[in-house]
Amino acid sequence: MNNNYLGLDAGGTSTRAVVVSSDGRCTGIGKAGSGNPTSAGVDAATAAIRDAVTQAVTSAKAGPVAGAALAVAGAGDPGHRRAIVSALSGLVATEPVFEFDVLAAYFSGTAAPDGYVLLSGTGASAVRVEDGRLAGISDGLGWLLGDVGSGFWLGREVVRAGLAPLDGRGTSTALTGLLLDRLGIAVDERRQGGRTATLVAATAALYAMPPLRLADFAALVFTAAGGGDQVAAGILDEAAAGLAETLAAVRTPEIEGPLVAAGSVLARQPDFAARVAPGAVVATDGLAGAAVLALRHGGVLVDDATYARVTSSLDQLTRV
Amino acid sequence: MNNNYLGLDAGGTSTRAVVVSSDGRCTGIGKAGSGNPTSAGVDAATAAIRDAVTQAVTSAKAGPVAGAALAVAGAGDPGHRRAIVSALSGLVATEPVFEFDVLAAYFSGTAAPDGYVLLSGTGASAVRVEDGRLAGISDGLGWLLGDVGSGFWLGREVVRAGLAPLDGRGTSTALTGLLLDRLGIAVDERRQGGRTATLVAATAALYAMPPLRLADFAALVFTAAGGGDQVAAGILDEAAAGLAETLAAVRTPEIEGPLVAAGSVLARQPDFAARVAPGAVVATDGLAGAAVLALRHGGVLVDDATYARVTSSLDQLTRV
């Protein structure tokens, strides 16, 4: 029998859902806004998840799917989970299972049941996968306590190093000009309470953002380092060392397996990904992995042929 | 004529007020809760300020004072300032002036109109004082963007370095045990989603606090470093280098002047203060400085004799 399953990957930027049949063919997709209850709020996140799933099921002309695997960043709380399950009643025939989003990232890069994924997006973590399940995780402790080498970590370093020379600290760096350009702040040397107007305006603009938005400045470190800036190069050295340590912490000799590099930082910076995760497959999207997780939970063996069908059919659907 | 003036030093922990006469004699003091509008809220902070001032004026048996200098951390907003001025009507005969709290810290260490103060409390900054006024400031950019070497900065490093070994990263350090003890979390190696129960409980407890509360863990780095811990020693090296850079950024050859070390970190850690600010006078309290600022704004020349009376009479009042 050829059942339909639903895979969902919900993150801070967008929520995506896919309907996949037992043979690995993706037949419908849906997309909505942030499905992360922490950043978007429980109600908005739940609505986005329902919206994406409804689109996927409707476009697949599938009726209720047999089962669903939901990779929802930040949905650790049982209350969040109940709200999501309740919102999907009528769309999924059996109780959906929740999965770690980092596992969806892993299976977007490989069908192998054993291996590793190194993720650097807004956060950063490394995971060891055994028999298709999360067997060990390092870092991923969040913006305040960990996430070394993540987009937030890089963005905060960019901002700190870029601001320092504005009051005579640190080393002169191209990051200062790049940061001010990005903030749309012109240089104004007039002083307010001992600081330049430039610095006062920049700090006011930065504190007006939620802390996590500092991740938006991560890309500037690659621009500056590419132009030969030594401060930026130093930040990247430290990030690379931190990510290498995070990956090393989950490595075990018993598991050889493939290595997947995932998350917006690694997906957008192939040279940096090659440096911190040599030989890794770079996964740009967690949706294929969510489909694989849905199939696995449905009892479908995802061999290389099935996996190839998942990725190629999904590729066609998203290209339309 | 021997006028009375009011000095006020309002911070995140407590608000203190002092009535001082033109000849430098402190005749009344008052104390209340947090007067920082950012951390306590405008209404509670304003009430605390009024409370402390009322106590000081009442205990001085002075009637309304001729003028007041208010050093209120976080009162940059004109709305906050208006609320405070309005709450003090009837207690102060003329419009109170607002001063930088770091200037109150400076004048708690010296009467010299020209000099420097290096502050490391919850935040960190350095200030150059010229003719009794703030002439230049470096860092003090707040917990997210700067404050290198501050209590928050140290506390965050303690927490990050202490947590890292719990998932196999970083270097083994005494900070881990000290941190878990402080959090009241017992070691529990059972795994939840790839992490030990210890790590899950610790991160949950830490994220339940406001970020600034990480400053509470700063003292652990001195405990661990004192016991020979190399990770803690490395954190202190970095903090010392950052504070030295912050101080160097406001130094100018034209101003020799004394150096005052202030803030809870430097006041409580005399060895560390001596390392980052050699030869500095350590000021443990901003209240004497607030009295000096009030006298200066009243047009009183604060010479060494007057300054000695301020500190000795204040010392007697607080000892009672």
Q: How far is A127 from chain B (nearest CA, A)?
A: 8
**B245 chain-A contacts, CB cut-off 8 A:** 169-170
Q: Is the pLDDT of residue A205 over 70?
A: yes
Mean pLDDT in residue range A133-155:
94
* pLDDT value, residue B320: 60
- Name the closest residue on chain A to residue B137, using Cα atoms: A194
Identify the weakest region by mean pLDDT among A141-155, B34-48, B99-113, B126-140: B34-48
The answer to whether residue A162 neighbours chain B at the CB level (below 8 Å) is no
Secondary structure class of A76 (helix, strand, coil): coil
Q: Taking a C-beta distance cutoff of 8 angstroms, is the pair A71, A11 a contact?
A: no
In the predicted model, is pLDDT for residue B36 greater than 90?
A: no
- Summarised one tens digit per residue, pLDDT across range A67-114 is 999 998 766 778 888 889 999 988 888 899 999 889 999 999 999 999
How far apart are alpha carbons A9 and A70 in whole angstroms?
6
List the beta strands (DSSP E) in B53-186.
67-72, 97-99, 115-120, 124-130, 133-139
In the predicted structure, residue B2 carries a pLDDT above the cut 90: no
| Amino acid making up residue B256 | E
Min Cα–Cα distance to chain A from B126, Å: 11
Q: What is the mean predicted confidence (pLDDT) over B255-275?
A: 94
- Least Cα distance to B194 among A141, A180, A212, A221 occurs for A141
- Residues in A closer than 8 angstroms to B141, CB to CB, are 163, 167, 199, 203
pLDDT band at A1 (very low <50, low <70, confident <90, very high): low
How many angstroms separate the CA of residue A195 from the nearest CA in chain B? 6
Q: How far apart are alpha carbons A300 and A245 in whole angstroms? A: 35
Are A150 and A160 contacting, i.e. CB atoms less than 8 angstroms apart? no
Q: Would you call B97 helix, strand, or coil by DSSP?
A: strand
What are the CA-CA distances from residue B280 to residues A294, B254, B257, B266 (Å)? 65, 18, 11, 10
What pLDDT, in 10s, does the model give residues B215-245?
999 999 999 999 999 999 999 999 999 999 9
Q: Is residue B1 scored above 70 in pLDDT?
A: no
Cα-trace Rg, chain A:
21
What is the three-class DSSP state of B238? helix
Mean confidence (pLDDT) of chain A: 92
Residues β-bridged to residue A18: A7, A29
Residue A13 has pLDDT above 80, yes or no: no
pLDDT of residue A320: 61
User: In terms of pLDDT, which residue wins out, A36 or B56?
Assistant: B56
Residue B54 tokens, joined:
């009322």
What was the pLDDT predicted at A34?
Answer: 85
Q: Say if A169 is an interface residue toward chain B (CB within 8 Å).
A: yes
Interface test with B, best of A131, A133, A138, A143 (most B CBs within 10 A): A138
Q: A-B interface: how many C-beta pairs under 8 angstroms?
A: 91
Among residues B207, B186, B181, the alpha carbon closest in space to that of B198 is found at B186
Q: Which one, of A239, A235, A215, A216, lies nearest residue A225 by Cα?
A: A235
* CB atoms B142 and A100 under 8 Å: no
Rounded to an integer, what is the distance from CA B296 to the centroid of its chain?
22
pLDDT of residue B260: 97
Which pLDDT belongs to residue B292?
96
Percent of chain A with pLDDT over 70: 98
C-alpha A293 chain-centroid distance: 17
CA A298 – CA A4 distance, rounded (Å): 9
Contact B37, B48 (CB under 8 A): no
pLDDT above 70 for B75: no
Structural domains of chain A, with CATH: 1-108+285-320 (3.30.420.40), 111-284 (3.30.420.40)
Looking at residue A295, its pLDDT comes to 95
Q: Are A286 and A11 in contact (CB under 8 A)?
A: yes
CA-to-CA distance for A313 and A309, rounded, in angstroms?
A: 6
Model confidence pLDDT, tens digit, residues A254-286: 999 899 999 999 999 999 999 999 999 999 878
The answer to whether the Cβ–Cβ distance between A134 and B250 falls below 8 Å is no
